[in-house]
Structure 1
Amino acid sequence: MGKSSQERPLSPCINLCRMDDDDRYCLGCFRTLDEIATWSDLDIEEKELVWQALDERRAKRA
């Protein structure tokens, strides 16, 4: 399972910004363009939901 919200960095961005071949998500942070664009407007609970989705995307990619 992934890290808890208290252990997570403020942003999933790792400064490796490149979309996958289908433009679904960033290969660095695994966020969609919508998630990247709205990140700063999300509250803690919404960010945690995105983090959970990122964990799932990362696991599928591995």
Structure 2
Amino acid sequence: MTDSPARPPAPIKTPCVKVCVVDGESGLCLGCYRRLNEVAGWARLSEAEREAIMAELPARRGLIRPEKLAMF
């Protein structure tokens, strides 16, 4: 019997763009629009939970004042 090598886990989809600055006013990351607790717990969420959050992100952009987004 041959042991097949273990496969590495599939990469987790993430909206992270490596701009990790949390806006104190909205509580959202200026790069990906997630809340700090979502960023911190991202790996522990189910794929369905991550997909639901990612579907909300475009609408969250409007919660951040435009002049803050112009910095990035």
Letter in 1 for 2:38: E
Match of 1:43 among 46, 58, 61: 46
Size of the aligned set, in residue pairs, is: 53
Q: Structure 1: state its 5+ residue gaps.
A: 1-8
For normalisation by structure 1, the TM-score amounts to 0.72
Q: CA RMSD in A?
A: 1.9
Kindly indicate whether residue 30 of structure 2 is the aligned counterpart of residue 18 of structure 1. no
Structure 1 segments (4+ residues) deviating >3 Å:
none
For normalisation by structure 2, the TM-score amounts to 0.63
Q: Structure 2: state its 5+ residue gaps.
A: 1-11, 67-72
